[in-house]
Amino acid sequence: MCGIAGIIGKFQDRLPVMLDAQKHRGPDATGFFYDEGFAALGHNRLSIIDLSSNANQPFFDASNRYAIVFNGEIYNYIELRELLSGVYDFKTESDTEVLLAAYIHWGKDCLSKCNGMFAFAVWDQTDKSLFAARDRFGVKPFHYTIAADGFYFASEIKAIHAAGIEKVPNEKVWASYFAYGSYGKPDETFWENVQQLPGGHHLELNNGELEIAKWYFFENELKKQPKNLSHDEARNHYLALLKDSIKLRFRADVPIGFNLSGGLDSSVLLALVNDFDHGKSAINAYTFYTGDENYDEWPWVEMMLKDTTYPLTKVLLRPEDVEEFSQTIYFHQDEPFGGIPTLAYATIFAQASKDGVKVLLDGQGMDEQWAGYDYYSQAGDATIQGVKGSPYKINMLSGDFLNKAEKPVYDEPFEKALLNKEYRDIFYTKIPRALRFNDRISMAFSTELREPFLDYRLMEFAFSLPESYKIKAGVTKVMLREIAAEFLSENLVYAPKRPLQTPQREWLGNDLKNWVTSCIDKITGSIYARWFDVEALEKEWQHYQQGNMQSAFHIWQCISLFEMIQGLV
């Protein structure tokens, strides 16, 4: 896992400051390449595979025509290397060299051959052209801006701002966030003039002309899935894919750990890691807790681990830690994130980094492919688990600001409502925002997060299965639970889904109310007060403190705004 940056244009001396802004993404090595007068590429390296300096980036082919900067992992690089061994003379053991060789040999078609998470850019010194791409689901970030003096790209938004691009809030995105809980379209950010390449897309820059195209067509891939399988055949096929996905994500030359909650997804992850590893490795398990037994899941995690040899590290987040830690995480996020649960999750990466664990696995992606959220079986367009009524308080927004909001409209390529909800969550809502949050918090502590359940083969196959394999008689994740039953006790297989893992609502209204009051006061005393009906905003905060805590999302939105605008007011 690393950071990439580049400038196609004349102000190439800005590259070092861009890399310095995101150095936490790769503290092991920093590299530069300059094609004078045309391009500059830079790289922050976090060494995971082939730890030698030979694999440092920017990386060049033997002819020096092509230079690549790459963030991510190509999990099937060994298999691809074997395919390419007859047409390319490899000098390293790195997946970076395999990716470059694949691009040279297959061109943009190499993307569909890669099983991994990636954002990379290749500069062609002969044609003076740039090719860049992002993985299928957008696990790894790619931000860019088109300025009068050139094209800038980087893994993090702060690196682009460090290059001199003015930091101005994108009011449409902010308004949509407050009004509808939207985090922007796949190509948008919360900042003017900074865009992101959507997942499953690539771009080409030739002679100043930028072309962006989609390369991953999920709907088409569904048509290629095995047909007419019996229930048992489908279960066995999915289990085989699961095991292979775990195996691929154990490829690393550094220590590996994994993150656990008390839910089914973590239980399956643990069971398959244990099945693959047979308890041979010293793999650290991590979970967070807050000291509130109504939310903490460590008793479930300990139950899961009791028959394994893996040690458990429990990491505590206290209410008195939140204000200072949130400032750290907001610095790394560059945009609003999910709240105190994200902070709690971040403590795991901070601890793992201290322990020398560079790679962590988690269970992201199961709910979206197996219809695990409660709203999948309900009418309406809810996107938040476990909340009754709207968590958005548009009454506290000014009319002018609210008029800038754009209600999200999502593609609905399928006839069945369930499939369209899953599709929305995979490509527009749940998965994109979770991936952004998680990339930033893992990279903040120079650790790599791998998500084996987001293997595209699993997503495509599970998505294509009949609805009865996912939800039956009110039970969600039906087939996944059947698979889990082969490894786990019944109380873990049918453990209830707990949508809230931290006492965010209680902390914001009680332990942290002075901090929240300060955030709101500073907003209403700033130029951003024009975004709100200040009286209505203050009343909402009063009602919250008086016990109207069904949802804390609107309170966290205000904290997010305060943290993001510091230094701009």
Confidence of residue 167 (pLDDT cuts 50, 70, 90): very high
Q: Look at residue 498 and tell me if it is in a domain.
A: no
Given a cut of 80, whether residue 251 has pLDDT beyond it is: yes
Instruction: Assess whether 482 and 342 both reside in one domain.
Output: yes
Q: What is the pLDDT of residue 389?
A: 66
Confidence of residue 281 (pLDDT cuts 50, 70, 90): confident
Given a cut of 80, whether residue 296 has pLDDT beyond it is: yes
Confidence of residue 55 (pLDDT cuts 50, 70, 90): confident
Instruction: Assess whether 192 and 153 both reside in one domain.
Output: yes
Q: Look at residue 100 and tell me if it is in a domain.
A: yes
Instruction: Assess whether 409 and 452 both reside in one domain.
Output: yes
Tokens of residue 82, six digits:
């074997």
Binding site for L-glutamine: what residues are annotated? 95
Instruction: Assess whether 198 and 316 both reside in one domain.
Output: no
Q: What is the pLDDT of residues 440-497, one digit of tens each?
A: 999 999 999 999 999 999 999 999 999 999 999 888 999 999 998 888 777 777 766 6
Q: In the chain, what percentage of residues exceed pLDDT 70?
A: 96
Q: What is the pLDDT of residue 387?
A: 57
Q: Look at residue 384 and tell me if it is in a domain.
A: yes
Q: In the chain, what percentage of residues exceed pLDDT 90?
A: 82
Mean pLDDT of 188-209: 97
Q: Look at residue 481 and tell me if it is in a domain.
A: yes
Q: What is the pLDDT of residues 17-36, one digit of tens each?
A: 999 999 999 999 999 999 99
Q: What is the pLDDT of residues 302-345, one digit of tens each?
A: 988 888 889 999 999 999 999 999 999 999 999 999 999 999 99
Q: What is the pLDDT of residue 7?
A: 97
CATH of residue 262's domain is 3.40.50.620
Instruction: Assess whether 432 and 478 both reside in one domain.
Output: yes
Structural domain tally of the chain?
Answer: 3
Instruction: Assess whether 147 and 37 both reside in one domain.
Output: yes
Out of 216, 251, 272, a domain closes at: 216
Q: What is the pLDDT of residues 533-550, one digit of tens each?
A: 999 999 999 999 998 888
- Give me the sign of the Cα torsion angle 54, 58, 59, 64: negative
Instruction: Assess whether 109 and 206 both reside in one domain.
Output: yes
**DSSP secondary structure string for all residues of 7-19:** EEES-GGGHHHHH
Instruction: Assess whether 252 and 383 both reside in one domain.
Output: yes
- pTM of this structure: 0.95
Instruction: Assess whether 86 and 130 both reside in one domain.
Output: yes
Given a cut of 70, whether residue 93 has pLDDT beyond it is: yes
Instruction: Assess whether 235 and 349 both reside in one domain.
Output: yes
**DSSP secondary structure string for all residues of 170-227:** -HHHHHHHHHH-----TT--SBTT-EEPPTTEEEEEETTEEEEEE---HHHHHTTS--
Q: What is the pLDDT of residues 96-135, one digit of tens each?
A: 999 999 999 999 999 999 999 999 999 999 999 999 999 9
Binding site: what residues are annotated? 95
Q: What is the pLDDT of residue 500?
A: 60
Q: What is the pLDDT of residue 497?
A: 62
Given a cut of 80, whether residue 195 has pLDDT beyond it is: yes
Q: What is the overall mean pLDDT for the chain? A: 93
**CA distance linking residue 92 with residue 86, whole number of Å:** 15
Q: β-pairing, 201-206 with 448-450?
A: unpaired
Q: Domain range spanning residue 510? A: 504-565
**CA distance linking residue 24 with residue 2, whole number of Å:** 9
Mean pLDDT of 42-67: 93
Residues with catalytic roles: 2
Q: Look at residue 411 and tell me if it is in a domain.
A: yes
Confidence of residue 73 (pLDDT cuts 50, 70, 90): very high
Q: Look at residue 499 and tell me if it is in a domain.
A: no
Q: What is the pLDDT of residue 374?
A: 86
CATH of residue 63's domain is 3.60.20.10
Instruction: Assess whether 34 and 74 both reside in one domain.
Output: yes
Q: Look at residue 119 and tell me if it is in a domain.
A: yes
Confidence of residue 383 (pLDDT cuts 50, 70, 90): low
**CA atoms within 13 A of residue 557's CA, in its CB half-sphere:** 26
Out of 216, 235, 263, a domain closes at: 216
Q: Look at residue 480 and tell me if it is in a domain.
A: yes
Out of 466, 493, 520, a domain closes at: 493
E-strand stretches of 374-453: 448-450
Task: Determine which of 280-284, 419-423, 553-557 has the lowest per-residue pLDDT on average.
Answer: 280-284
Task: Determine which of 53-62, 242-251, 481-490, 557-566 has the lowest per-residue pLDDT on average.
Answer: 481-490
Q: What is the pLDDT of residue 154?
A: 98
Mean pLDDT of 276-298: 88
Instruction: Assess whether 248 and 164 both reside in one domain.
Output: no
List C-alpha distances in Å: 19 to 7, 158, 160: 11, 10, 10
Q: What is the pLDDT of residue 325?
A: 97
Confidence of residue 385 (pLDDT cuts 50, 70, 90): low
Q: What is the pLDDT of residues 493-529, one digit of tens each?
A: 776 665 568 999 999 999 999 999 999 999 999 999 9
